[in-house]
Amino acid sequence: MKRFDYVRPANIADAIEAGSAPGAAYLGAGTNLIDLMKGDVVRPDRIVDITRLPQLDAIEALPDGDFRVGALVRNADLAYHPDFAAKFPLVAEALLSGASAQLRNAATIGGNLLQRTRCRYFYDPASACNKRESGAGCDAIEGENRTHAILGWSKECTATHPSDLCVALAALDAVVEVEGASGRRDVPLVDLHRLPGDTPDRETDLAPGDLIVAIRLPAQSAGFARHARYLKIRERTSYAFAMVSAGAALEIENGAIRRARIALGAVAAKPWRAVAAEAALEGATPDTAAFERAADIALSDARASGDNAFKIDLARRVIVRALLRAAAGTPNRMPALPGSAFAPTAGELDHV
């Protein structure tokens, strides 16, 4: 690990000034950053410790019905917050499906949004990786790539975004509050991350020094609380990143779907919102046939990026199964295995 400067600012303005310097990196819980530094994958010149900044660890119900979650709120604290989990059970299930309990107790919401890909070539400094070093090439293209992208990838990069939380947030129209040198602005979660194109090293639309201070869940997304599920398929049930995941949320009225939300994880360099598939479900009967049509639409542009053609069919099945679970109803209590294929499929419609 290289030597670096350590700065602990007292307020957000000082943090942004310190974080705007070339080679600076913000430190929250460090559950991803420290691993990357120890592996010599990233080599920051300056660490800006934001863990003591005031007002970034609150979970608030706003007067307009929105929920605001500070960037330093811990994953576990949000998942177990009774009011938040009741209104946004999709987010709670996604959070509890990720990592271990110890990591969920430490990791922050803001850090989760900005975690880096788990592509093995990105993590190996001896491998060529355009995301780690622009212009270096991509060893994943001809390498071990069965876990890689099937949507939105380019010849420069086929890595996927690993977050479970971001999939649920994308489905529920979350907004990210960003503070930067030019002030505060709102960024829709679906616009925060970038597809690789010719610049895979640019992973988000954040400028140098930009600091995520909070996320907001809109009040209207709480309308999905009775029919919302997260499903995560992984190579082992415990402590593994998704091979494919899906967040599904439905609003059902008089036996027909009034609104639908679908987002996919581990299929692209960003959480993938299936807007066309959602539109196709409006007015439909919530049954397997309708969900299969929606899955076909969601994956109409999918293509293998290597030895991973199976992921297209897997993603199709995950969408259908997640929608069937959502249609059955959100369980009154969180399943013992949140997000798992082994969790109960039948829900209870008395969810508040």
CB crowding 4-14: b at 16 or more within 10 Å, else e: eeebebeebee
Locate 336 and state its tokens: 């013992």
Residue 131 lies in a domain: no
Quickly state the pLDDT bin for 276 (edges 50, 70, 90).
very high
Q: Which domain holds residue 31?
A: 5-49
In this structure, is residue 128 part of a structural domain? Answer: no
Q: What angle is formed at CA 212 by the lines to CA 203 and CA 150, rounded to 5 degrees?
A: 30
pTM, to two decimals: 0.96
The neighbouring-strand residues paired with 60 are 68
Tell me whether residue 250 is in a domain. Answer: yes
pLDDT at 143: 97
Q: List pLDDT tens digits, range 289-300.
A: 999 999 999 999
Instruction: Give the mean model confidence (pLDDT) for residues 257-264.
Output: 98
Can you tell me the distance from the alpha carbon of 242 to that of 225, in angstroms, rounded to the nearest whole number?
Answer: 23
Identify whether the C-beta of residue 269 lies closer than 8 Å to the C-beta of residue 200: yes
Angle between helical axes of 288-298 and 310-328 (0-180°, round to 10): 140
195 part of a folded domain: no
Burial class (CB in 10 A: 0-12, 13-18, 19+), 80: middle
Q: What is the pLDDT of residues 172-210, one digit of tens each?
A: 999 999 999 999 999 999 999 999 999 999 999 999 999
Asked whether the predicted pLDDT for residue 261 surpasses 90, the reply is yes
Asked, for residue 292, whether it belongs to a domain, the answer is yes
Q: What is the CATH number of the domain that holds 227?
A: 3.30.390.50
Average pLDDT over residues 89-95: 98
pLDDT digits (tens, 9 = 90+) for 163-174: 999 999 999 999
Strands 272-273 and 256-265: antiparallel
Pairing state between β 46-49 and 24-27: parallel
- pLDDT for the residue numbered 100: 93
Mean pLDDT, the chain, whole residue set = 96
Would you list the DSSP string of 159-194? Answer: -----SHHHHHHHTT-EEEEEETTEEEEEEHHHHB-
111 within some domain: no
- The predicted pLDDT at position 348 comes to 57
What pLDDT does residue 238 have?
81
The two structure tokens encoding residue 348? 């209870």
pLDDT (0 to 100) of residue 338: 94
Q: Give pLDDT tens digits for 99-154.
A: 999 999 999 999 999 999 999 999 999 999 999 999 999 999 999 999 999 999 99
Question: Is 85 domain-assigned?
Answer: no
CATH of the domain at 29: 3.30.43.10
CA-to-CA distance for 2 and 40, rounded, in angstroms?
Answer: 8
Structural domains counted in the chain = 2
Q: Do the domain assignments include residue 303?
A: yes
- Contacts of 322 by beta carbon, 8 Å cutoff, 6+ apart: 229, 230, 231, 246, 247, 248, 262
Give the per-residue pLDDT at 1. 72
> Is it the case that residue 350 has pLDDT exceeding 70?
no
User: Is the pLDDT assigned to residue 306 strictly greater than 60?
Assistant: yes
